[in-house]
Amino acid sequence: MLRFECLAIGGLFAALLIYSPRSKRLAAARDLILCREVQIVVLCALPLTLVLTDHIAQATIFGIFIFNLATNPNTLLSFNHPVLDRLGAISYGMYGYNWIAAVIAMRVAIGLFGNGIATSAATFICGIVLTIVLAMLSYIAIEKPFLDIKRKKRQMSARI
């Protein structure tokens, strides 16, 4: 029920990324994952994850996809964009505050539109916008000051 096997598959990809494989077989597997043909197969397989009930297959497909995006300079997809960089910076706040934004958005949408398709659309849009706003406020007010302190401490310890 908790799908620890999916976590383990992700951990294997992380280990393949972090640790340089000493084994020729692991190095060959890593190189295979990074080749253009595997990228195409994985991109074609991504829609299948919507209908697959096998969580191990889903975790493997997503693991290859994420591994490729994170390590391959010649990847078919590129997510290097200032907007995505900013969302990455506030992603922890998005993770932490999304449930608050969803509850507020749902109550506001039901109050404005009652029940129906408009309520669902308004909840979705309002929830995303509110999540990003809350995450940005959290980043500016809480996370960034702590990150600045951390950076200053590193600079001080590097001088010593």
Has residue 17 been placed in a domain?
yes
Same domain for 132 and 91, yes or no, is yes
Has residue 76 been placed in a domain?
no
Instruction: Tell me the residue range of the domain where 51 lies.
Output: 4-71
pTM for this one? 0.58
Same domain for 65 and 111, yes or no, is no
Q: What is the CA radius of gyration of the chain?
A: 21
Has residue 104 been placed in a domain?
yes
The band of 4, judged by pLDDT with boundaries at 50, 70 and 90, is confident
Using a pLDDT cut of 70, give the percent of the chain over it: 99
User: Rounded to a whole number, what is the largest CA-CA distance in the chain?
Assistant: 63
The predicted pLDDT at position 102 comes to 92
**CA distance linking residue 71 with residue 77, whole number of Å:** 12
Same domain for 35 and 59, yes or no, is yes
Has residue 138 been placed in a domain?
yes
Same domain for 57 and 92, yes or no, is no
What's the mean pLDDT in 91-110? 92
Q: What angle do CA 8, 11, 17 make, to 5 degrees?
A: 150
**pLDDT surpassing 80 at residue 127:** yes
**CA distance linking residue 15 with residue 58, whole number of Å:** 19
**pLDDT surpassing 70 at residue 126:** yes
